[in-house]
Structure formats: C-alpha cells, structure tokens
Copies of this chain bind each other. A is one copy, B any other.
Amino acid sequence: MSRKQDFYPEWREDPPKPGSYRSIFKWGDPKEYKHPNRRLYKLVKEEFGLTDEDFKSRKNEGDEIVELPNSPLKLQKQHIEAISGIVGEENISTRDYDRLKYSTGKTAEESRELREREIKEVADLIVHPRNKEDVQKIIVYCNEHKIPVYVYGGGSTVNFGFRPVMGGITLVMQTHMNKIVEMNERNHTCRVQAGMMGPAFEEVLNNAPEQFGTKHRFTGGHFPQSFEYSTVGGWIVTLGSGQQSSYFGDSYHLVIGQEWVTPRGNFETKTFIAEATGPKLNDIMKGCEGTFGVLVELTVKIFKWMPENQFPMCFIFPSWEKGVDAAREVSQGEFGMPGVFRLSDPEETSVALKLYGIEGTFLDTLMYLRGFKPMERCLLLSRTEGERGFAKNVLRKSKKVFRRFGGMSLTGYPVKEWEHSRYRDPYMREDLDDYGLTIDTLETSVTWENLHTIHRAVRSYVKSRPKTICMSHGSHFYSQGTNLYFIFFGKFDSLEEYRSFQKGIFDTILESGGSLSHHHGVGRMIAPWMEDYLGKEQMDVLRALKNHFDPRGIMNPGGQMGLDYGPEGLKNREWRIDWRGPRDPASLDAQ
C-alpha cells in the first residue's frame, strides 16, 4: 500500500534537443532542473483534484525542431544586406530557430504558445551589434527606412517586452556588448555595456582586486529572480528590483548615468549622484522599455562586498496582520534596512514550509505546540547587509520588533533553504507545464494603508476560481509600503481561459488601488490598463516623449506600454489588434 502512495512523476531531466521548441521555452540552463518535491506533488493533487493517473503521461513537450513555414521573411533583401554590411554577416541571422528564440520571452503564455506551436509574431532579422557605433548606424538606417527595431537583453521579460509585433529586426545585446567599460573604485561606480549578464557582472565586481587591482571587493547589489538570465541594461529599462533591494535600492536607485542611441540622436546623461539642473535625463529614460531608443552603456553604483555580514533571520507570525505590522515597524524604524526581506501570506507560508522542507521537522512541531496555525501563520525571511556593526544593529532591532509582534524565531535554516533555491524555483515550471499545470506571477506596489485591501481583493478574485492556488508575499520593503508579489497556480484548459483569468487580475488591481507593476515593467501585457491607470494627461506626457525620441515610431512598436495604441486596441484590451494588417515588406510604411 505504501508503495502505491509513493508514485512520483517521471519529471524530465534530459536537456532539450538543440533546435527544439523546448530548448527555447525551458527556463535557464539546459542541463539544470528542479522538480516539485513529494510534499508539493501531494499538495498539487489534493488542491487540483488530480490523481497519480494525471501524471503518467506528459504532453506538448515541444521536442519538435523549430520551423516557421507560416512566417516567411518580410524584410526586403536590400535591408538585410545593408545591416549585414554594418555588423558583418557573421553577426546576422535569418534562421527560423534564431528568429523564434530571440522573439520569445518568459511569460506563461509564450511557453504554452510554443508547446502548442501557436506561433505569432517573430523577428525577420536577428542582429548582434558589436559596439555602440554599430547600434548607431543601425538606428540611423532603420529610422531612414522605417524598419521596426526590438532589443533583446537577457530574454526574461514576463510581459512581452520585446515581442516583435511588427517584424523587422531584433538587436541581441548580450552577444558582444557585455563588458565592463570602467571600474572606478574611488567613485564607487562601474560603467558597463548594456548587454552584460547579471552573473558575469557580479563576478567581476566580486573579483575586482584580481581583475582591476582594486583594494576592495564589490557587489552590484541587484539580484532579481531572473538574475542569471537578465542583463544590466535590462534591469533599468524595465525598472527592475532585486531581492536585496530593501537595503541596496531598486535599479531606479542604482543607475546614475546612461548612454542612449535614439532615432533623434545620441547622448550620455550626466553621472553626478545629485544635481539641480532641471528634470534629469537619467530619470526620463528609466523604464522606457525600449520605446525611446537603445541603451548602450550605463554607470551604476557599486558597494563593498561583505557577505560575512549577511546574518539570516526567519520568524513565524500568528497572522498576516501581525506579520505586516512587524514588517512596517522595521521599515519605519530608522535603524537601517535588511537586504532580503520577504513576508509570505498564509497560503504561501503553507507551500513554503513544504518547499523548504520544514514540514515535519522539529520546527514544525515547535510551531504546532506554540499555536501557530496553518493557513493563519505567516513566514518572514530576512538577511542583513552592510558593515558589521550596522548589520548587527539591524539584526538586533529587527528581532526585537518581530518578537514584539508575536513572532517566533525559526532559526536561520529556512533562509539557507531559500538562498539555495532562490534562482531555481522557475525550473519547476516546465515540470508542471508538462502535465498541463500553469504557474505564473504578477505584482503590485502598495502603500501600507491599502495593502490589506488589495491583498484581499486579488485573493478574493483568484480564489473565486475553483482549484486555484494563490500565494503572495511582501517582497521589497520601504518605509512607505511594499510590493505584493502574487503567484497563481492552476490547471487551465486553454490559453484563452488563462488570458481571461489574468485580465481579471489587472482589473482587480486597478480597481482596488494598487500600481500596475512594481518591478516587472509594463510590456504589452499590462499596456491596455496604462491609460486608465495614469490618466490621459500623464499618458500624453509619455507619448510626447516617445514622439520626440522616435518620431517615425520604429522603436519597439506595436502596443508597448500603450504608447502606440489606437483607440480600438485600447477599448478591446488587445495589444495586437492594431497591428494585424498586411506587413510585407517589414517596414512601417507598409502597414
């Protein structure tokens, strides 16, 4: 009998076949995987009313080799030759596989689209610029000929941020433009090309004494979950935040200077950490998501790297309310902020205790004996940063606050578990997806005052759908509020059903007063809500900027951020609607 209960799905562990759809939609390293553990598997079956039978055969695994018979090249030969003349033919590609790969981000929808081979928009020409001069020449050429230009950074957008809706060319920044330009220990800054990947950047900073002869080791302080598959430039064009932002700040705070190539012209913003010479171009460019031009270099703050002062804290609270109050008290305490700071709500706590292997341990027993009840109790993980005395003060004072609000320490062990899995959880998506289960996330910035209202509203909407898991946590803390990060998990019969479910979440967030995004950006996914959210006057300002930088509309065209919608597109909350005309050749004039 116990044998039967021990069934555990045959999750895939083989690397995807080169050239296959799976090799595009699979998260991360082809050879890496992380499976839902047995506790999570049990939970999934219970929650979704499934049995072991449902996990005996995988489907839509995407092992076929990519072919795009329905997506012929639409960019005229003369244009391809001209671009090739700029970057060299070794740096362009019109292969079907490359066209699809560099057109695909990491939304749950795209994964499903590729599994079902429902291929929509793909780029015509993939270009790997070697340097900023290449980018300049390409933008001048494309502007002259009205050829759409998209930019692929690390490829981990979760909102169709570089979806080549109009075809044209996609610039891949990570291939060549991935180097440190200047390490400046005295100024505590680093100048870097926009296409450098997160881990490569961080490694150089950690090893700066060996590589640049600096006195200290450094860190960039920016560690989003997509860290391994995102570029330094991508962090700021999307206004991203790392998981240690409560101490280091968001990319918004980290980037102090940028160099841009735009159809209107090129410029480097000033890199003074503070000045009073009018509205700052460095700010105006942050978060423009490729609609104003191409970010080629940036100057970011760096910090002394002191991992020895990362002291972990893990507390369990009797309720979400108590946990939130404690987190607010720490955030407003003026004794310094920890780096990692995450407070899970009851449903996420329940899953996390399974995922981190706490369920069934002595800690679990202790919680039970002390009266911390399942589906009421909330888990808080935190870890300090900074100089030793600073970090110890944050540790001491935070713990005091946590205890005052009824928290019980669970030792530092769960934080170690979280550290171990922080970049690995996304790997589970393929396993679940192989059996038709969808997991996805959305997030919204909240003030302390409206946190509970928004949390209740979103949960209420999600839970009104039967058999749907809704987890959430406060993920990035400030004295004025936090980010509510929601994770949805369910079985959806079709892409359409999932899209319609997701739209309801945006409606709910907007109606209950949250922001449309805290650090994922807008892309095309959230674009239809932008005008309702910001209001016409503010959208008009963004459109005026768009029109200034890119008067011919070549930069990331087709609904991005709602900047080039028509009224019909907006009304129907459908970013594709305006762009479904004939598009041959791939030039905007032909639309």
Contacts and interface: CB of A to CB of B under 8 A. Distances in A.
A538 B275 contact: no
Given A386-B334, A397-B389, A279 B448 contact: no
A287 interface: yes
A535 B268 CA distance: 9
B537 A273 contact: no
Which one of A238, A386, A397, A479 has the highest number of Cβ atoms from chain B below 10 Å of its Cβ?
A479
A186 interface: yes
A480 B273 contact: yes
A591 interface: no
Given A187-B447, A387-B333, A448-B186, A279 B284 contact: yes
Interface stretch (A10-18, A28-36, A301-309, A403-411): A301-309
Nearest to A239: B276
Contact of A393 (B304, B393, B538): B393
Contacts of A283: 279-280, 283-284, 286
Contacts of A480: 187-189, 256, 272-273, 301
Contacts of A385: 334
Given A186-B448, A387-B397, A480-B187, A542 B279 contact: yes
Interface stretch (A164-172, A345-353, A465-473, A512-520): A512-520
Interface string A524-539: 0010001001111110
A369 interface: no
Contacts of A449: 184, 186-187
Interface string A369-398: 000000000000000011101100100110
Contacts of A256: 480
A522 B278 contact: yes
A103 interface: no
B284 A284 contact: yes
A1 interface: no
A252 interface: yes
Contact of A390 (B250, B252, B393): B393
Interface string A545-557: 1001100000000
Given A449-B186, A480-B188, A287 B276 contact: yes
A479 B267 contact: no
A270 interface: yes
A518 B275 contact: yes
B548 A544 contact: yes
A275 B545 contact: no
A225 B561 CA distance: 42
A495 interface: no
A188 B479 contact: yes
Interface string A260-295: 000011110111111111111101111111000000
B278 A335 contact: no
Given A267-B537, A335-B386, A393-B390, A517 B277 contact: yes
A335 B188 CA distance: 15
Nearest to A520: B276
Contacts of A306: 334
A183 to B, nearest CB: 12
A521 interface: yes
A242 interface: no
Which one of A184, A238, A276, A533 has the highest number of Cβ atoms from chain B below 10 Å of its Cβ?
A276
Given A267-B538, A278-B534, A545-B545, 13 more contacts: A241-B276, A256-B480, A274-B476, A275-B518, A276-B522, A277-B517, A277-B526, A283-B284, A284-B541, A303-B334, A303-B479, A390-B393, A544-B545
Interface of A: 184, 186-189, 238-241, 250, 252, 256, 264-267, 269-281, 283-289, 301, 303-304, 306, 328, 332-336, 385-387, 389-390, 393, 396-397, 445-449, 476, 478-481, 483, 515-522, 526, 530, 533-538, 540-542, 544-545, 548-549, 561
Q: Which 7 A-B pairs have the closest CB atoms?
A: A239-B276, A273-B480, A283-B283, A335-B387, A544-B548, A267-B537, A275-B515
